[in-house]
Structure 1
Amino acid sequence: MSNENVADGDVRRKGGLGQRIAYACGNLGQAAFYNAMSTYFVTYVTSCLFVSYSKALAAQMIAVITGLIVVIRIAEIFIDPLLGNLVDNTTTKWGRFRPWQFIGGLVSSVLIVLIFSGMFGLVNVNTTLFIVLFVITFIVLDVFYSLRDISYWGMIPALSSDSHERSTYTALGTFTGSIGYNGITVIVIPIVSYFTWTFTGAKGQGQAGWTSFGFIVALLGLITAWTVAFGTKESTSALRAKAQKNGNPFEAFKALFQNDQLLWVALSYLLYAIANVITTGVMYYLFVFVLDEPAAFSITGIIPLIAGFIMAPLYPILNRWIPRRYLFTGGMVSMIIGYTMLALFSSNLPVVIVALIFFYVPAQFIQMTAILSLTDSIEYGQLKNGRRNEAVTLSVRPMLDKIGGAMSNGAVGAVALAAGMTGHATAADMTASNIATFKTFAFYVPLVLIILSLVVFWFKVKIDEKMHAQIVEELEAKLASGEIVDDEAQVVEAVEAADDEAQAVIKN
């Protein structure tokens, strides 16, 4: 790992092509990893993990495991800012963020193979021991994945303080993230089916296939994380060099809650994330149990994959002329149209495909606007509170994604059980009540959340490109004039004051 960090004070300049490519690669594996965990792990649990159990016992175990996942992820919501504080206070010759790409990528990759293997068959040997080890493994996995995710997005301010340059890095990460996230959706069934047949000779999606899937995701995650660790260089600007040290976790939490723009952006994104992940999490059941078209399920990966190729590179171009507030609004309106069509015509495949286009196409615009708004709130908080918290601030988005993932895991498990979409059930077994239950959780509830997200963003989020540029100029002017005192100066003043007090005591 190169120990060279750029310290020329000009963090606004464009990054090199190699660094941009390396950074972009990171989210390819990271997004694939996230989709595997937030969506397809629960699919694996409900369809394969307990297939050797009786139907009643399998239902109980599915409820236990999905319930534990929700509890663990909600509990870890409070850990993410602490992990962000840990990253913010990391000081190494390789920088603040890159070491966590190396460590987080390694540990999380090893552990995802473990959970997709049923703890290497322990699930069929000792149920109690399996649950205990699963909880421990899942917690450790989630912590190290979070460290990787936080350090990845937290690195953007270390690469540039210019809002448009940041949008370039964000666009690159979102572009490859779209490929990774949606690519998993395209290949999951073919991969699981192929390796199930290769190792067992059986058709369908068996344990051997899911274990192989976990291994492929792990390998991709490790390679891409290490690409970021070895292929990027953190820069030092005046804003970063003169920022106060980030202090203890309590000060980090205080800084978050004093940043009103951060909180409003977070609330808007949280409502979107919960809606989006719940719906994408149950798409498998839509095609298998409602449409009875499992072979067409790959459409849910192909559409967003193509959309990502087009929309992610298009965002920074459009953003030069169109404020991101309007890009966000247009995306939300498109999703509302998609949800309405899905709710009304969920049994019509051609209409569903059109609805999915409206649903998936604006995802990059919405997510990139949220990420950039959160990133720009770093300088807003620094100006308002006198404290710069990079990783802590940007740990908010992974934390919100984790909440969304927890809600998705819980919703998928609940829908599967309530609608009878588990084990060996088929579309022919579905009743009108089953379908109504599915549509309520999959479409109607998320539609309400999307509308609320748009309302919050439009009326409460004020930080935009123009406001951020003014904040940066004001910060630089205050730092240059000494109005904002850096850490070293504060330490010297404190030492001098202590010496003066000591001399006074001696004289008395």
Structure 2
Amino acid sequence: MSGNNGNKLMQRISYACGTFGHDIFFMMVNTYFIMFITSNLFHSDDQSHNEYMIGILMTVILVIRVAELFIDPFIGNTIDKTNTRWGRFKPWVIVGGFIAAFSLVLLFTDLGGLTTSSPILYLVIFAILYIIMDIFYSAKDVAIWSMVPAMSFDSKDREITATFARIGSVFGAQLVTVVVIPIVLFFSKDANGGAGDANGWLAFAIIGGAISLLGAVILGIGTKERSSALRENKKETSFKEVFSILAKNDQLMWIAITFLIWCFGQDMVNAFQMYYFTYILGESTYLSFVGIINVIIGLISVALFPILTTKFKRRKLFFISAAIEILALVIYSFAGTNAPVVLFAAALFNLPQALIFLVVLMTITDTVEYGQLKIGHRDESLILSIRPLVNKLSGAVTGGIVGLTAVWVGMSGKATAADITDTNKLYFGLIMFAIPIVFMIISTLIYKTKVHLTEEKHAEIVRELERTWKDISK
């Protein structure tokens, strides 16, 4: 028994290493790539042309990510059909990780000066590279998180595995916040008002991409899927059945809608924070303090997740976490340039983020068996593809909002905190705080009224599947 426990522990640690690198990559794409675009990518002498190109690029990213709404489920469906000697998921994690990391490094450049010498050609090549990066990142993302239901059928066991995974991902994501400014400024020749230059951002991309790939390799070597009759389908889901399968799983759809609207608010604030510290507070280096604080409180909150779900259950934990985030935004909105209050509000806002992610992830994971019983066959990766799809769609929408807002209120190019007018600070504050609060309230109401899949309900479903699955799947 102790040998099995030791093996399970090593698998969970390996899994956490994979999610550590994966969330480093996620933060690079979802939060800091926009800062690179608005501050360093376009540097001609014509500021209006630079702002026009930023707007075009934001539109390209948004269109690609919206189009991928129709691609990601097919990626999940393809992964579900994968059968190799290394398992169903590992090849996608490692190969996807390599291609995505290489593509991202190229995206953190002006492609040899094409932004100035041939902007149209740059946009074409950018779009191709971004599509390649996004598709293989998606494949890796879906494969990584699809391993949760493949490693266990027990909700509590899944929560422990997911907690290890989220500890890795929180550490990775918040570590990026700690090191992004020091790395960018260390490798930059021009500090550029705290935003760094192209050399610094390229170094940041290379270091982050390499760590992400290393984590994928460790996950591939150290984890193993669980074989079970409950994971065997007599009939595969065809491409033409993909969307109907998703639509029939009503609990999956409602938790996805809940999470999407929540992410609109949360991602907007997270992406705006670097702008806040650079152009409102006037101290971009303080963002590293936020990262350090967030690493500590994030790891503590995630480690407590199994205990908190035992005491409160997931549903109540979601409501408590939502209330804390909304309160934090109210405090943040009145903080102004008071650094201690800003740091406190930023830390309080981060405190429940990992908990909400885990509540949503575990609910989506449990909809695998919910759909399996309701529809008659199992679709692990297809169903788990919805969570990263939501994150990417939210990142695209909020990234576009952040990029366009930065241009609108003068937070682009060579601007500094002294250049931002009081009126633009007011507009910036309304978009960074008021709109996210509205999104979060709407999301909470949807969760309260439409999501009903609890831990107890899932346990009943698993017992029913164990009793009847052989007959259902014939």
Matched with 1:218 is: 209
Return closer, same or farther for 1:245/1:24 CA change in 2, 3 Å cut-off.
Answer: farther
Deviations 1:1-33 (A, max 9, x none): xxxxxxxxxxx9996222111111111111010
Matching of residue 483 in structure 1 with residue 471 in structure 2: yes
Matched with 1:418 is: 408
- Report if aligned partners of 1:312, 1:364 keep a CA contact under 8 Å in 2: yes
Query: What amino acid is the match of 1:350?
Result: P
- Report if aligned partners of 2:376, 2:473 keep a CA contact under 8 Å in 1: no
- Report if aligned partners of 2:193, 2:415 keep a CA contact under 8 Å in 1: no
Mapped to 1, the partners of 2:60 and 2:203 lie a distance apart of 24
Query: What amino acid is the match of 1:387?
Result: H
SS in 1 for 2:312: coil
Query: What amino acid is the match of 1:316?
Result: P
Tell me by how many angstroms 1:352 deviates.
Answer: 1.9
Q: Taking structure 2 as the reference length, what is the TM-score of the superposition?
A: 0.96
- Report if aligned partners of 2:178, 2:290 keep a CA contact under 8 Å in 1: yes
Mapped to 2, the partners of 1:195 and 1:432 lie a distance apart of 33
Mapped to 2, the partners of 1:415 and 1:245 lie a distance apart of 49
Matched with 1:102 is: 94
Tell me by how many angstroms 1:368 deviates.
Answer: 0.2
- Report if aligned partners of 1:195, 1:209 keep a CA contact under 8 Å in 2: yes
| Larger mean Cα displacement after TM superposition, 368-377 or 18-27 | 18-27
Aligned residues: 470
Q: Taking structure 1 as the reference length, what is the TM-score of the superposition?
A: 0.89
Q: 2:118 aligns with which of 117, 120, 126?
A: 126
- Report if aligned partners of 1:252, 1:389 keep a CA contact under 8 Å in 2: no
Matching of residue 339 in structure 1 with residue 329 in structure 2: yes
Mapped to 1, the partners of 2:7 and 2:78 lie a distance apart of 26
Matched with 1:452 is: 442
Mapped to 2, the partners of 1:333 and 1:15 lie a distance apart of 39
Return closer, same or farther for 1:320/1:259 CA change in 2, 3 Å cut-off.
Answer: same
- Report if aligned partners of 1:268, 1:456 keep a CA contact under 8 Å in 2: yes
- Report if aligned partners of 2:267, 2:398 keep a CA contact under 8 Å in 1: yes
Any residues of structure 2 matched to 1:88-167 within 5 Å, and which?
88-167=80-159
- Report if aligned partners of 1:15, 1:159 keep a CA contact under 8 Å in 2: no
Matched with 1:361 is: 351
- Report if aligned partners of 2:193, 2:414 keep a CA contact under 8 Å in 1: no
Mapped to 1, the partners of 2:68 and 2:166 lie a distance apart of 24
Tell me by how many angstroms 1:456 deviates.
Answer: 1.2
Mapped to 2, the partners of 1:373 and 1:324 lie a distance apart of 9
Matching of residue 175 in structure 1 with residue 163 in structure 2: no
Identity %: 38
Query: What amino acid is the match of 2:291?
Result: G
Mapped to 1, the partners of 2:281 and 2:401 lie a distance apart of 20
Mapped to 2, the partners of 1:373 and 1:254 lie a distance apart of 20
Matching of residue 41 in structure 1 with residue 29 in structure 2: no
> Which has more radius of gyration?
1
Return closer, same or farther for 1:53/1:164 CA change in 2, 3 Å cut-off.
Answer: farther
Matching of residue 406 in structure 1 with residue 399 in structure 2: no
Matching of residue 227 in structure 1 with residue 215 in structure 2: no
Tell me by how many angstroms 1:151 deviates.
Answer: 0.2
Any residues of structure 2 matched to 1:16-415 within 5 Å, and which?
16-197=8-189, 205-241=196-232, 243-415=233-405
Tell me by how many angstroms 1:116 deviates.
Answer: 0.6
Mapped to 2, the partners of 1:473 and 1:14 lie a distance apart of 27
- Report if aligned partners of 2:377, 2:473 keep a CA contact under 8 Å in 1: no
| Larger mean Cα displacement after TM superposition, 15-24 or 180-189 | 15-24
Tell me by how many angstroms 1:203 deviates.
Answer: 8.7
Mapped to 2, the partners of 1:107 and 1:126 lie a distance apart of 26
Tell me by how many angstroms 1:476 deviates.
Answer: 0.7
Return closer, same or farther for 1:159/1:120 CA change in 2, 3 Å cut-off.
Answer: farther
SS in 2 for 1:483: helix
Mapped to 2, the partners of 1:123 and 1:155 lie a distance apart of 40
Query: What amino acid is the match of 2:228?
Result: S
Tell me by how many angstroms 1:53 deviates.
Answer: 4.1
Tell me by how many angstroms 1:201 deviates.
Answer: 9.9
Return closer, same or farther for 1:73/1:472 CA change in 2, 3 Å cut-off.
Answer: same
Matched with 1:505 is: none
- Report if aligned partners of 1:80, 1:146 keep a CA contact under 8 Å in 2: yes
Tell me by how many angstroms 1:119 deviates.
Answer: 2.1
Deviations 1:450-487 (A, max 9, x none): 111111112211111111000000011112xx53133x
Q: Which runs of 4+ in 1 moved over 6 A?
A: 200-203
Query: What amino acid is the match of 1:117?
Result: T
SS in 2 for 1:93: coil
Mapped to 2, the partners of 1:192 and 1:129 lie a distance apart of 27
Mapped to 2, the partners of 1:426 and 1:358 lie a distance apart of 27
Structure 2: segments with no counterpart, 5+ residues: none
- Report if aligned partners of 1:73, 1:402 keep a CA contact under 8 Å in 2: yes
